[in-house]
Amino acid sequence: MTMSQTLQAAFNDQIQLEFSSAYTYLGMAAWCESRDLAGFARWMRAQASEETQHAMKFLDFVLERDGTITLQPIEAPSGGFSSVLDVLEQALGHEQRVTAAIGRLYGQASEEGDYSSLPLLQWFMGEQVEEEATVRQIVAELRMVGDDTSALLLLDRDMGGRRGPPPDAA
Ligand code: MG
């Protein structure tokens, strides 16, 4: 069964959102890098590459369903951050918007009876639960760190190590 035009349009919107996410994380990576927070920067870069893989996963799916890809422009992300906590709070807000968007896509596919889309969207819903939990934890730790630069350096080291999502995770 071919996807409806409206569902194809919604998937194309999601592809744009995933590429925007990659761009958002790339901007955050650059901000962290320029403030010598190499661990946070590395983590943000890994996020950016994961978001690109999400976009590709949606893109491949649409093509597999004989749908049409219409790539949309990607806006420049806002580069204004007041602190690394602000960066992570914005990242959390962004992930929450992505979760809501995938939820709407799931709802639309269900309503149309496009059941072939549901396993993929289900996978993304699970992925979003993990993303939000990870970012929420980092936000909590940054709040604990407060103005303590020694603690921030330790957290930065931690971010650059075990908490970097594997680059091939998709
Ligand atoms: Mg994503």
Cα dihedral value 74, 79, 85, 88, nearest 10 = 10
Chain segment 145-166, per-residue pLDDT in tens: 999 999 999 999 999 986 555 5
Residue ranges covered by each domain of the chain: 5-69+82-161
Task: Give the Cα separation of 81 and 4 in Å (integer).
Answer: 40
CATH class label, 5-69+82-161:
mainly alpha
Task: Give the Cα separation of 97 and 70 in Å (integer).
Answer: 22
- The answer to whether the CB of 14 falls within 8 A of the CB of 132 is no
Distance 120 CA to ligand 1 centre (A): 13
Chain segment 90-106, per-residue pLDDT in tens: 999 999 999 999 999 99
Chain segment 46-78, per-residue pLDDT in tens: 999 999 999 999 999 999 999 999 999 999 998
Distance 14 CA to ligand 1 centre (A): 9
Task: Give the Cα separation of 119 and 8 in Å (integer).
Answer: 16
Average pLDDT of the chain?
A: 94
Per-residue confidence (pLDDT) for residue 133, from 0 to 100: 97
Distance 85 CA to ligand 1 centre (A): 21
Summarize the confidence of residues 110-128 as an average pLDDT.
97
Distance 50 CA to ligand 1 centre (A): 7
Q: Is 119 exposed, middle or buried (0-12, 13-18, 19+ CB in 10 A)?
A: exposed
Distance 59 CA to ligand 1 centre (A): 13
